[in-house]
Structure 1
Protein backbone atom coordinates (compact mmCIF):
# COMPACT_ATOMS: atom_id res chain seq x y z
CA UNK A 1 0.00 0.00 0.00
CA UNK A 2 1.44 3.38 -1.06
CA UNK A 3 0.07 5.54 1.72
CA UNK A 4 1.27 8.99 0.67
CA UNK A 5 -0.41 12.31 -0.10
CA UNK A 6 -0.37 13.40 -3.71
CA UNK A 7 0.71 16.93 -4.54
CA UNK A 8 -2.90 17.82 -5.35
CA UNK A 9 -4.25 16.36 -2.10
CA UNK A 10 -1.66 18.10 0.04
CA UNK A 11 -2.34 21.43 -1.66
CA UNK A 12 -6.10 21.03 -1.14
CA UNK A 13 -5.55 20.15 2.51
CA UNK A 14 -3.18 23.08 3.01
CA UNK A 15 -5.74 25.49 1.54
CA UNK A 16 -8.53 24.16 3.76
CA UNK A 17 -6.40 24.24 6.91
CA UNK A 18 -5.11 27.75 6.30
CA UNK A 19 -8.50 29.03 5.24
CA UNK A 20 -10.28 27.65 8.29
CA UNK A 21 -7.64 27.75 11.01
CA UNK A 22 -5.11 30.26 9.67
CA UNK A 23 -2.32 27.71 10.02
CA UNK A 24 0.20 27.65 7.20
CA UNK A 25 1.13 24.23 5.82
CA UNK A 26 4.36 24.58 3.82
CA UNK A 27 5.69 21.53 1.92
CA UNK A 28 8.00 20.72 4.85
CA UNK A 29 4.88 19.76 6.87
CA UNK A 30 3.75 17.15 4.36
CA UNK A 31 5.21 14.13 6.16
CA UNK A 32 3.72 15.31 9.48
CA UNK A 33 0.29 15.74 7.88
CA UNK A 34 0.48 12.28 6.29
CA UNK A 35 1.29 10.65 9.62
CA UNK A 36 -1.55 12.33 11.46
CA UNK A 37 -4.12 11.70 8.75
CA UNK A 38 -3.28 7.99 8.63
CA UNK A 39 -4.72 7.73 12.15
CA UNK A 40 -7.84 9.61 11.06
CA UNK A 41 -8.23 7.39 7.99
CA UNK A 42 -8.05 4.28 10.19
CA UNK A 43 -10.67 5.75 12.53
CA UNK A 44 -13.03 6.04 9.54
CA UNK A 45 -12.11 2.57 8.25
CA UNK A 46 -10.60 4.07 5.09
CA UNK A 47 -7.72 2.32 3.36
CA UNK A 48 -5.16 5.14 3.31
CA UNK A 49 -4.68 8.92 3.23
CA UNK A 50 -5.45 9.05 -0.49
CA UNK A 51 -8.82 7.39 0.13
CA UNK A 52 -9.37 9.83 3.03
CA UNK A 53 -8.82 12.77 0.66
CA UNK A 54 -11.25 11.28 -1.85
CA UNK A 55 -13.81 11.17 0.95
CA UNK A 56 -13.11 14.83 1.83
CA UNK A 57 -12.92 16.40 -1.60
CA UNK A 58 -14.81 14.14 -4.00
CA UNK A 59 -17.54 12.60 -1.85
CA UNK A 60 -18.71 15.61 0.18
CA UNK A 61 -17.21 14.48 3.49
CA UNK A 62 -15.37 17.72 4.29
CA UNK A 63 -18.27 19.49 6.02
CA UNK A 64 -18.73 16.87 8.71
CA UNK A 65 -15.05 15.95 8.91
CA UNK A 66 -13.61 19.48 9.12
CA UNK A 67 -13.42 19.65 12.93
CA UNK A 68 -11.68 16.25 13.06
CA UNK A 69 -9.27 17.28 10.31
CA UNK A 70 -8.26 20.40 12.23
CA UNK A 71 -7.94 18.37 15.43
CA UNK A 72 -5.64 15.93 13.64
CA UNK A 73 -3.21 18.47 12.19
CA UNK A 74 -3.12 21.01 15.01
CA UNK A 75 0.13 21.07 16.97
CA UNK A 76 -0.64 21.27 20.68
CA UNK A 77 2.73 21.78 22.34
CA UNK A 78 2.20 23.07 25.86
CA UNK A 79 3.73 22.85 29.32
CA UNK A 80 2.96 23.99 32.83
CA UNK A 81 4.83 27.21 33.70
CA UNK A 82 6.10 27.55 30.13
CA UNK A 83 8.01 30.85 29.79
CA UNK A 84 7.83 31.30 33.58
CA UNK A 85 8.79 34.97 33.63
CA UNK A 86 5.33 35.71 32.23
CA UNK A 87 3.73 34.18 35.29
CA UNK A 88 6.07 36.14 37.54
CA UNK A 89 4.94 39.29 35.76
CA UNK A 90 1.30 38.24 36.10
CA UNK A 91 1.73 37.83 39.87
CA UNK A 92 4.02 40.77 40.57
CA UNK A 93 2.79 43.42 38.12
CA UNK A 94 -0.29 42.69 36.02
CA UNK A 95 -2.81 41.54 38.63
CA UNK A 96 -1.76 44.15 41.23
CA UNK A 97 -2.12 46.84 38.53
CA UNK A 98 -5.57 45.55 37.54
CA UNK A 99 -6.74 45.48 41.16
CA UNK A 100 -5.32 48.93 41.87
CA UNK A 101 -7.16 50.33 38.87
CA UNK A 102 -10.46 48.52 39.35
CA UNK A 103 -10.69 47.67 43.02
CA UNK A 104 -12.61 44.69 44.39
CA UNK A 105 -14.07 42.97 41.35
CA UNK A 106 -13.74 39.87 39.21
CA UNK A 107 -10.33 39.50 37.51
CA UNK A 108 -10.84 37.80 34.12
CA UNK A 109 -8.00 35.94 32.41
CA UNK A 110 -8.27 34.37 28.95
CA UNK A 111 -5.89 31.71 27.62
CA UNK A 112 -6.61 32.15 23.91
CA UNK A 113 -4.83 29.06 22.57
CA UNK A 114 -5.15 26.85 25.61
CA UNK A 115 -4.46 23.43 24.08
CA UNK A 116 -4.82 20.77 26.80
CA UNK A 117 -5.07 23.39 29.53
CA UNK A 118 -1.59 23.63 31.03
CA UNK A 119 -1.37 27.39 30.51
CA UNK A 120 -4.87 28.04 31.88
CA UNK A 121 -4.26 25.91 34.97
CA UNK A 122 -0.85 27.49 35.52
CA UNK A 123 -2.48 30.93 35.54
CA UNK A 124 -5.16 29.57 37.87
CA UNK A 125 -2.49 28.37 40.30
CA UNK A 126 -0.89 31.80 40.30
CA UNK A 127 -4.22 33.54 40.93
CA UNK A 128 -5.21 31.04 43.61
CA UNK A 129 -1.90 31.56 45.40
CA UNK A 130 -2.29 35.34 45.31
CA UNK A 131 -5.76 34.90 46.76
CA UNK A 132 -4.55 32.51 49.44
CA UNK A 133 -1.83 34.89 50.55
CA UNK A 134 -4.23 37.85 50.50
CA UNK A 135 -5.77 40.26 50.08
CA UNK A 136 -8.55 38.18 48.54
CA UNK A 137 -10.16 38.96 45.18
CA UNK A 138 -12.47 37.14 42.79
CA UNK A 139 -11.06 35.61 39.61
CA UNK A 140 -11.96 33.36 36.70
CA UNK A 141 -10.00 31.78 33.84
CA UNK A 142 -11.28 30.97 30.34
CA UNK A 143 -9.39 28.64 28.02
CA UNK A 144 -10.24 28.43 24.31
CA UNK A 145 -8.87 26.37 21.46
CA UNK A 146 -9.90 25.28 17.99
CA UNK A 147 -9.38 21.58 18.79
CA UNK A 148 -12.26 19.76 20.46
CA UNK A 149 -10.01 16.87 21.47
CA UNK A 150 -7.61 18.97 23.51
CA UNK A 151 -10.49 20.83 25.13
CA UNK A 152 -11.93 17.55 26.38
CA UNK A 153 -8.61 16.70 28.04
CA UNK A 154 -8.34 20.23 29.45
CA UNK A 155 -11.76 19.98 31.05
CA UNK A 156 -10.81 16.68 32.68
CA UNK A 157 -7.55 18.15 33.99
CA UNK A 158 -5.78 14.76 33.85
CA UNK A 159 -2.10 14.67 32.81
CA UNK A 160 0.90 12.33 32.74
CA UNK A 161 2.75 12.60 36.03
CA UNK A 162 5.95 13.91 34.44
CA UNK A 163 4.11 16.79 32.82
CA UNK A 164 3.70 18.60 36.14
CA UNK A 165 7.44 18.45 36.91
CA UNK A 166 7.81 22.21 36.18
CA UNK A 167 5.16 23.05 38.81
CA UNK A 168 6.86 24.15 42.06
CA UNK A 169 6.61 21.49 44.75
CA UNK A 170 4.42 23.56 47.11
CA UNK A 171 1.94 24.26 44.30
CA UNK A 172 1.89 20.59 43.32
CA UNK A 173 0.96 19.67 46.87
CA UNK A 174 -1.94 22.14 46.89
CA UNK A 175 -3.30 21.93 43.37
CA UNK A 176 -2.41 18.51 41.93
CA UNK A 177 -3.73 15.09 43.00
CA UNK A 178 -2.02 11.76 42.39
CA UNK A 179 -4.04 8.95 40.79
CA UNK A 180 -5.18 6.37 43.32
CA UNK A 181 -3.62 3.70 41.11
CA UNK A 182 0.03 4.78 41.18
CA UNK A 183 0.83 2.41 38.31
CA UNK A 184 -1.09 4.75 35.98
CA UNK A 185 1.41 7.56 36.69
CA UNK A 186 -1.26 10.21 36.20
CA UNK A 187 -2.24 13.33 38.10
CA UNK A 188 -5.31 15.53 38.12
CA UNK A 189 -5.87 19.19 38.89
CA UNK A 190 -7.81 19.53 42.15
CA UNK A 191 -11.57 20.19 41.82
CA UNK A 192 -11.31 23.56 43.61
CA UNK A 193 -9.07 24.84 40.82
CA UNK A 194 -10.97 23.15 37.98
CA UNK A 195 -14.16 24.91 39.07
CA UNK A 196 -12.51 28.28 38.45
CA UNK A 197 -11.43 27.41 34.90
CA UNK A 198 -13.83 27.07 31.97
CA UNK A 199 -13.04 25.80 28.47
CA UNK A 200 -14.82 26.39 25.16
CA UNK A 201 -14.09 25.98 21.47
CA UNK A 202 -13.05 29.10 19.57
CA UNK A 203 -11.40 29.58 16.19
CA UNK A 204 -9.11 32.61 16.20
CA UNK A 205 -9.87 32.99 12.49
CA UNK A 206 -13.54 33.76 13.20
CA UNK A 207 -14.51 37.42 12.65
CA UNK A 208 -16.08 37.66 16.11
CA UNK A 209 -15.18 35.97 19.39
CA UNK A 210 -17.92 34.92 21.86
CA UNK A 211 -15.88 36.22 24.79
CA UNK A 212 -16.48 39.06 27.26
CA UNK A 213 -15.14 42.44 26.16
CA UNK A 214 -13.88 43.35 29.63
CA UNK A 215 -11.07 40.82 30.00
CA UNK A 216 -8.14 41.90 32.18
CA UNK A 217 -5.42 39.53 30.92
CA UNK A 218 -5.06 37.66 27.62
CA UNK A 219 -2.43 34.98 27.01
CA UNK A 220 -1.97 34.25 23.29
CA UNK A 221 1.42 32.61 23.14
CA UNK A 222 3.17 30.57 20.46
CA UNK A 223 0.24 30.43 18.06
CA UNK A 224 0.72 33.59 15.98
CA UNK A 225 3.92 32.12 14.51
CA UNK A 226 1.75 29.69 12.53
CA UNK A 227 -0.17 32.56 10.84
CA UNK A 228 0.82 34.86 8.02
CA UNK A 229 1.34 38.56 8.79
CA UNK A 230 -2.14 39.62 7.70
CA UNK A 231 -3.80 36.97 9.88
CA UNK A 232 -1.56 37.88 12.83
CA UNK A 233 -2.68 41.48 12.58
CA UNK A 234 -6.37 40.56 12.37
CA UNK A 235 -6.15 38.20 15.36
CA UNK A 236 -4.30 40.77 17.47
CA UNK A 237 -6.88 43.43 16.64
CA UNK A 238 -9.69 41.16 17.78
CA UNK A 239 -7.89 40.08 20.94
CA UNK A 240 -7.06 43.64 21.94
CA UNK A 241 -10.69 44.55 21.42
CA UNK A 242 -11.62 42.21 24.28
CA UNK A 243 -9.20 43.81 26.77
CA UNK A 244 -10.28 46.44 29.27
CA UNK A 245 -8.27 49.67 29.30
CA UNK A 246 -5.24 48.84 31.42
CA UNK A 247 -5.46 45.15 30.51
CA UNK A 248 -2.45 43.00 29.62
CA UNK A 249 -1.60 40.88 26.58
CA UNK A 250 1.09 38.17 26.76
CA UNK A 251 2.62 36.84 23.53
CA UNK A 252 5.16 34.07 23.03
CA UNK A 253 8.84 34.98 23.25
CA UNK A 254 9.27 34.29 19.53
CA UNK A 255 6.41 36.66 18.68
CA UNK A 256 5.99 40.42 18.64
CA UNK A 257 3.57 43.24 17.87
CA UNK A 258 6.01 45.05 15.59
CA UNK A 259 4.10 47.51 13.49
CA UNK A 260 0.96 46.76 15.43
CA UNK A 261 -0.25 50.26 16.34
CA UNK A 262 -3.14 48.71 18.28
CA UNK A 263 -3.27 51.02 21.26
CA UNK A 264 -0.90 48.80 23.23
CA UNK A 265 2.44 49.65 24.77
CA UNK A 266 5.16 47.20 25.70
CA UNK A 267 5.79 46.93 29.45
CA UNK A 268 8.05 43.84 29.55
CA UNK A 269 9.46 41.36 27.00
CA UNK A 270 6.46 40.25 24.88
CA UNK A 271 4.04 41.79 27.44
CA UNK A 272 1.81 44.65 26.33
CA UNK A 273 -0.70 46.86 28.15
CA UNK A 274 -3.75 48.50 26.63
CA UNK A 275 -3.77 52.29 26.97
Structure 2
Protein backbone atom coordinates (compact mmCIF):
# COMPACT_ATOMS: atom_id res chain seq x y z
CA UNK A 1 0.00 0.00 0.00
CA UNK A 2 1.48 3.31 -1.09
CA UNK A 3 2.43 5.61 1.75
CA UNK A 4 1.71 3.02 4.40
CA UNK A 5 3.78 2.69 7.57
CA UNK A 6 4.59 -0.50 9.49
CA UNK A 7 2.47 -1.34 12.49
CA UNK A 8 4.15 -0.45 15.79
CA UNK A 9 5.55 -3.42 17.69
CA UNK A 10 3.08 -5.10 20.00
CA UNK A 11 3.00 -3.66 23.47
CA UNK A 12 4.23 -6.08 26.12
CA UNK A 13 1.50 -7.71 28.18
CA UNK A 14 0.93 -6.48 31.70
CA UNK A 15 2.58 -8.41 34.52
CA UNK A 16 -0.08 -9.33 37.04
CA UNK A 17 0.61 -9.61 40.76
CA UNK A 18 0.10 -13.38 40.55
CA UNK A 19 2.66 -13.62 37.72
CA UNK A 20 5.13 -11.50 39.65
CA UNK A 21 4.81 -13.92 42.57
CA UNK A 22 5.61 -16.83 40.24
CA UNK A 23 8.91 -15.20 39.25
CA UNK A 24 9.55 -14.02 42.80
CA UNK A 25 9.39 -17.59 44.10
CA UNK A 26 11.41 -18.98 41.19
CA UNK A 27 14.20 -16.43 41.42
CA UNK A 28 14.49 -16.72 45.21
CA UNK A 29 14.58 -20.53 45.04
CA UNK A 30 17.27 -20.46 42.34
CA UNK A 31 19.45 -17.59 43.57
CA UNK A 32 18.40 -16.39 47.02
CA UNK A 33 17.56 -13.00 45.50
CA UNK A 34 14.25 -11.56 46.66
CA UNK A 35 12.21 -9.59 44.13
CA UNK A 36 9.95 -7.26 46.07
CA UNK A 37 6.51 -6.37 44.74
CA UNK A 38 7.96 -2.94 43.94
CA UNK A 39 9.95 -4.64 41.15
CA UNK A 40 6.87 -5.27 38.99
CA UNK A 41 7.80 -2.74 36.30
CA UNK A 42 11.46 -3.84 36.28
CA UNK A 43 10.59 -7.52 35.85
CA UNK A 44 8.05 -6.76 33.12
CA UNK A 45 10.47 -4.53 31.24
CA UNK A 46 13.40 -6.94 31.38
CA UNK A 47 11.45 -10.04 30.41
CA UNK A 48 9.05 -8.61 27.82
CA UNK A 49 11.62 -8.74 25.01
CA UNK A 50 12.04 -12.46 25.51
CA UNK A 51 8.27 -12.96 25.41
CA UNK A 52 8.16 -11.24 22.02
CA UNK A 53 11.07 -13.31 20.70
CA UNK A 54 9.34 -16.53 21.75
CA UNK A 55 5.90 -15.43 20.57
CA UNK A 56 4.40 -15.79 24.04
CA UNK A 57 1.43 -13.69 25.09
CA UNK A 58 1.69 -13.79 28.88
CA UNK A 59 4.31 -13.87 31.60
CA UNK A 60 2.64 -16.98 33.03
CA UNK A 61 3.33 -18.73 29.73
CA UNK A 62 6.96 -17.63 29.89
CA UNK A 63 7.23 -18.92 33.46
CA UNK A 64 5.91 -22.30 32.29
CA UNK A 65 8.46 -22.26 29.45
CA UNK A 66 11.36 -21.40 31.78
CA UNK A 67 10.46 -24.10 34.28
CA UNK A 68 9.88 -26.84 31.72
CA UNK A 69 12.12 -29.85 32.19
CA UNK A 70 15.38 -29.62 30.29
CA UNK A 71 15.16 -25.86 29.77
CA UNK A 72 18.02 -24.82 32.06
CA UNK A 73 19.53 -22.60 29.35
CA UNK A 74 16.41 -20.43 29.28
CA UNK A 75 16.41 -20.24 33.07
CA UNK A 76 19.98 -18.90 32.97
CA UNK A 77 18.95 -16.44 30.29
CA UNK A 78 16.04 -15.25 32.43
CA UNK A 79 18.31 -14.74 35.43
CA UNK A 80 20.77 -12.83 33.25
CA UNK A 81 17.94 -10.49 32.24
CA UNK A 82 17.01 -9.75 35.85
CA UNK A 83 20.54 -9.11 37.13
CA UNK A 84 21.62 -5.57 37.94
CA UNK A 85 25.01 -4.50 36.56
CA UNK A 86 25.73 -1.16 38.21
CA UNK A 87 29.50 -0.85 38.74
CA UNK A 88 32.55 1.32 38.13
CA UNK A 89 36.32 1.22 38.46
CA UNK A 90 37.55 1.87 42.02
CA UNK A 91 34.00 2.16 43.30
CA UNK A 92 33.99 3.11 47.00
CA UNK A 93 37.60 4.39 46.89
CA UNK A 94 38.19 4.12 50.65
CA UNK A 95 38.24 0.33 50.31
CA UNK A 96 41.16 0.53 47.91
CA UNK A 97 42.86 3.07 50.16
CA UNK A 98 42.57 0.57 53.00
CA UNK A 99 44.21 -2.07 50.85
CA UNK A 100 47.06 0.24 49.89
CA UNK A 101 47.61 1.15 53.55
CA UNK A 102 47.75 -0.75 55.85
CA UNK A 103 46.64 -4.20 54.57
CA UNK A 104 48.98 -4.88 51.64
CA UNK A 105 52.13 -3.35 53.22
CA UNK A 106 51.52 -5.47 56.32
CA UNK A 107 51.24 -8.62 54.23
CA UNK A 108 54.36 -7.67 52.28
CA UNK A 109 56.31 -7.29 55.52
CA UNK A 110 55.02 -10.64 56.79
CA UNK A 111 56.00 -12.32 53.54
CA UNK A 112 59.49 -10.87 53.72
CA UNK A 113 59.89 -12.33 57.22
CA UNK A 114 58.54 -15.73 56.19
CA UNK A 115 55.46 -15.26 58.37
CA UNK A 116 53.03 -15.87 55.53
CA UNK A 117 53.14 -17.42 52.02
CA UNK A 118 54.14 -15.05 49.25
CA UNK A 119 50.83 -15.50 47.46
CA UNK A 120 47.47 -13.74 47.37
CA UNK A 121 44.07 -14.97 46.23
CA UNK A 122 41.20 -12.52 45.91
CA UNK A 123 37.57 -13.25 45.07
CA UNK A 124 35.29 -10.65 43.53
CA UNK A 125 31.92 -12.31 44.22
CA UNK A 126 29.48 -10.41 42.06
CA UNK A 127 31.98 -9.01 39.56
CA UNK A 128 29.41 -7.62 37.10
CA UNK A 129 31.20 -6.44 33.94
CA UNK A 130 34.65 -6.56 35.54
CA UNK A 131 35.43 -3.10 36.82
CA UNK A 132 35.80 -4.28 40.44
CA UNK A 133 38.15 -7.26 39.88
CA UNK A 134 40.33 -5.31 37.46
CA UNK A 135 40.56 -2.50 40.03
CA UNK A 136 41.66 -5.10 42.58
CA UNK A 137 44.21 -6.51 40.17
CA UNK A 138 45.75 -3.06 39.57
CA UNK A 139 45.94 -2.41 43.31
CA UNK A 140 47.55 -5.77 44.04
CA UNK A 141 50.04 -5.55 41.19
CA UNK A 142 51.18 -2.14 42.39
CA UNK A 143 52.10 -3.72 45.73
CA UNK A 144 53.27 -7.07 44.35
CA UNK A 145 54.45 -6.57 40.76
CA UNK A 146 55.56 -9.34 38.47
CA UNK A 147 59.07 -10.40 39.37
CA UNK A 148 58.59 -9.59 43.07
CA UNK A 149 58.33 -13.26 43.99
CA UNK A 150 54.63 -12.98 44.86
CA UNK A 151 51.89 -14.92 43.13
CA UNK A 152 48.67 -12.93 42.65
CA UNK A 153 45.33 -14.39 41.54
CA UNK A 154 42.04 -12.54 41.19
CA UNK A 155 38.99 -14.77 40.79
CA UNK A 156 35.89 -13.00 39.48
CA UNK A 157 32.43 -14.55 39.43
CA UNK A 158 28.89 -13.45 38.79
CA UNK A 159 25.45 -15.00 38.51
CA UNK A 160 25.05 -13.47 35.05
CA UNK A 161 26.72 -15.41 32.24
CA UNK A 162 26.55 -12.29 30.06
CA UNK A 163 28.33 -10.19 32.69
CA UNK A 164 31.09 -12.77 33.19
CA UNK A 165 31.69 -12.92 29.44
CA UNK A 166 31.90 -9.14 29.25
CA UNK A 167 34.27 -9.03 32.22
CA UNK A 168 36.53 -11.68 30.71
CA UNK A 169 36.61 -9.71 27.46
CA UNK A 170 38.12 -6.78 29.37
CA UNK A 171 36.90 -4.14 26.94
CA UNK A 172 35.15 -0.90 27.92
CA UNK A 173 34.31 2.54 26.64
CA UNK A 174 37.07 5.04 27.46
CA UNK A 175 34.42 6.99 29.38
CA UNK A 176 34.68 4.28 32.05
CA UNK A 177 38.31 5.31 32.66
CA UNK A 178 37.38 8.49 34.52
CA UNK A 179 37.59 6.81 37.93
CA UNK A 180 40.90 5.04 37.27
CA UNK A 181 43.92 6.96 38.70
CA UNK A 182 45.92 8.27 35.76
CA UNK A 183 49.19 6.42 36.58
CA UNK A 184 47.31 3.10 36.77
CA UNK A 185 45.37 3.85 33.60
CA UNK A 186 48.58 4.46 31.66
CA UNK A 187 50.33 1.45 33.16
CA UNK A 188 47.66 -1.23 32.91
CA UNK A 189 45.16 -0.24 30.21
CA UNK A 190 45.55 -0.09 26.45
CA UNK A 191 43.86 2.59 24.35
CA UNK A 192 41.94 1.40 21.31
CA UNK A 193 42.91 2.66 17.87
CA UNK A 194 41.30 2.51 14.42
CA UNK A 195 38.31 0.13 14.67
CA UNK A 196 38.69 0.15 18.49
CA UNK A 197 38.84 3.93 18.81
CA UNK A 198 36.98 5.16 21.88
CA UNK A 199 37.54 1.89 23.69
CA UNK A 200 40.12 0.64 26.17
CA UNK A 201 41.16 -2.87 27.06
CA UNK A 202 42.94 -4.54 29.96
CA UNK A 203 46.65 -4.98 29.33
CA UNK A 204 48.54 -8.29 29.54
CA UNK A 205 49.71 -7.78 33.14
CA UNK A 206 46.12 -7.61 34.32
CA UNK A 207 44.92 -10.50 32.19
CA UNK A 208 47.70 -12.72 33.50
CA UNK A 209 46.29 -12.69 37.05
CA UNK A 210 42.56 -12.88 36.25
CA UNK A 211 40.21 -15.87 36.24
CA UNK A 212 36.50 -15.64 35.44
CA UNK A 213 33.62 -18.04 35.96
CA UNK A 214 29.87 -18.09 36.59
CA UNK A 215 28.90 -18.75 40.21
CA UNK A 216 25.59 -18.69 42.00
CA UNK A 217 26.15 -17.53 45.59
CA UNK A 218 22.98 -19.40 46.58
CA UNK A 219 24.60 -22.68 45.45
CA UNK A 220 27.99 -23.20 47.16
CA UNK A 221 28.88 -26.08 44.84
CA UNK A 222 29.29 -23.48 42.05
CA UNK A 223 31.76 -21.39 44.07
CA UNK A 224 35.47 -21.31 43.22
CA UNK A 225 37.51 -23.78 45.24
CA UNK A 226 39.88 -22.97 48.08
CA UNK A 227 40.34 -20.08 50.47
CA UNK A 228 40.92 -16.41 49.76
CA UNK A 229 42.85 -13.61 51.45
CA UNK A 230 40.26 -11.05 50.38
CA UNK A 231 36.60 -11.49 49.46
CA UNK A 232 34.76 -8.55 47.91
CA UNK A 233 31.01 -9.15 47.96
CA UNK A 234 29.81 -5.59 47.65
CA UNK A 235 26.27 -4.44 46.89
CA UNK A 236 25.16 -8.02 46.24
CA UNK A 237 23.66 -9.32 49.48
CA UNK A 238 21.22 -6.41 49.72
CA UNK A 239 19.16 -8.23 47.08
CA UNK A 240 18.99 -11.49 49.05
CA UNK A 241 16.26 -12.71 51.35
CA UNK A 242 17.18 -12.82 55.05
CA UNK A 243 17.77 -16.58 55.34
CA UNK A 244 19.76 -16.78 52.10
CA UNK A 245 21.88 -13.81 53.18
CA UNK A 246 22.83 -15.55 56.43
CA UNK A 247 23.82 -18.75 54.66
CA UNK A 248 25.93 -16.93 52.09
CA UNK A 249 27.73 -14.82 54.69
CA UNK A 250 28.52 -17.88 56.77
CA UNK A 251 29.89 -19.69 53.72
CA UNK A 252 31.99 -16.73 52.60
CA UNK A 253 33.52 -16.21 56.04
CA UNK A 254 34.49 -19.89 56.07
CA UNK A 255 36.54 -19.24 52.92
CA UNK A 256 38.72 -16.69 54.73
CA UNK A 257 41.77 -17.47 56.90
CA UNK A 258 42.14 -15.69 60.23
CA UNK A 259 44.25 -13.03 58.46
CA UNK A 260 41.71 -12.43 55.66
CA UNK A 261 39.27 -9.59 55.06
CA UNK A 262 35.65 -9.46 53.93
CA UNK A 263 34.42 -6.34 52.09
CA UNK A 264 30.75 -5.36 51.83
CA UNK A 265 29.08 -2.45 50.04
CA UNK A 266 28.43 0.92 51.65
CA UNK A 267 24.79 0.05 52.45
CA UNK A 268 25.59 -3.37 53.91
CA UNK A 269 26.60 -4.50 57.38
CA UNK A 270 27.09 -7.64 59.44
CA UNK A 271 25.68 -5.99 62.57
CA UNK A 272 22.95 -8.21 63.97
CA UNK A 273 23.74 -10.95 61.47
CA UNK A 274 26.89 -12.62 62.73
CA UNK A 275 29.34 -12.65 65.61
CA UNK A 276 31.80 -14.61 63.48
CA UNK A 277 33.48 -11.46 62.18
CA UNK A 278 34.78 -8.25 63.73
CA UNK A 279 34.63 -4.84 62.13
CA UNK A 280 37.99 -3.36 61.12
CA UNK A 281 36.62 -0.42 59.13
CA UNK A 282 33.30 0.71 57.72
CA UNK A 283 31.83 -2.29 55.85
CA UNK A 284 35.10 -4.24 56.20
CA UNK A 285 35.39 -7.29 58.45
CA UNK A 286 37.89 -9.90 59.59
CA UNK A 287 37.03 -13.39 60.82
CA UNK A 288 36.71 -13.68 64.58
CA UNK A 289 38.23 -16.77 66.19
CA UNK A 290 35.75 -19.17 67.74
CA UNK A 291 32.45 -20.73 66.65
CA UNK A 292 30.24 -18.71 64.35
CA UNK A 293 27.02 -17.31 65.73
CA UNK A 294 24.57 -16.21 63.07
CA UNK A 295 21.15 -14.67 63.27
CA UNK A 296 18.29 -14.50 60.81
CA UNK A 297 17.04 -11.21 62.20
Shared fold (TM-score greater than 0.5)? yes
TM-score normalised by structure 1 residue count: 0.91
Counterpart in 2 of 1:68?
77
Counterpart in 1 of 2:89?
80
1:98 has 2:107 as partner: yes
Q: How many residues align?
A: 274
Whole-angstrom CA distance in 2 between matches of 1:47 and 1:188: 41
Counterpart in 2 of 1:53?
63
Whole-angstrom CA distance in 2 between matches of 1:43 and 1:198: 33
Whole-angstrom CA distance in 2 between matches of 1:216 and 1:98: 10
- Give deviations 1:230-267, integer Å, cap 9, x for gaps: 22111110000111111000111110001233432111
- Give deviations 1:134-157, integer Å, cap 9, x for gaps: 965221100011110000000000
Counterpart in 1 of 2:209?
196
Whole-angstrom CA distance in 2 between matches of 1:184 and 1:35: 32
C-alpha change, 1:46 and 1:137, in structure 2 (3 Å) is same
Structural mapping, 1:71-220, within 5 Å: 71-99=80-108, 100=110, 102-132=115-145, 137-181=150-194, 184-220=197-233
> Equivalent residue of 1:257, what SS?
coil
> Equivalent residue of 1:243, what SS?
coil
C-alpha change, 1:186 and 1:10, in structure 2 (3 Å) is same
Q: CA deviation at 1:49?
A: 4.4
Unaligned runs of 5+ in 1: none
> Equivalent residue of 2:129, what SS?
coil
- Give deviations 1:68-91, integer Å, cap 9, x for gaps: 111000111111000010011112
Match of 1:19 among 29, 32, 57: 29
Counterpart in 1 of 2:293?
none
Q: CA deviation at 1:40?
A: 2.3
Unaligned runs of 5+ in 2: 1-9, 289-297
Cα RMSD after superposing both structures:
2.3
TM-score normalised by structure 2 residue count: 0.84
In 2, are the aligned partners of 1:237 and 1:262 still within 8 Å (CA)?
no
Whole-angstrom CA distance in 1 between matches of 2:144 and 2:72: 45
Whole-angstrom CA distance in 2 between matches of 1:207 and 1:123: 23
Counterpart in 2 of 1:274?
287
1:3 has 2:20 as partner: no
C-alpha change, 1:51 and 1:133, in structure 2 (3 Å) is closer
Counterpart in 1 of 2:46?
36
Q: CA deviation at 1:172?
A: 0.8
- Give deviations 1:62-121, integer Å, cap 9, x for gaps: 544111111000111111000010011112122233342743421111101111111000
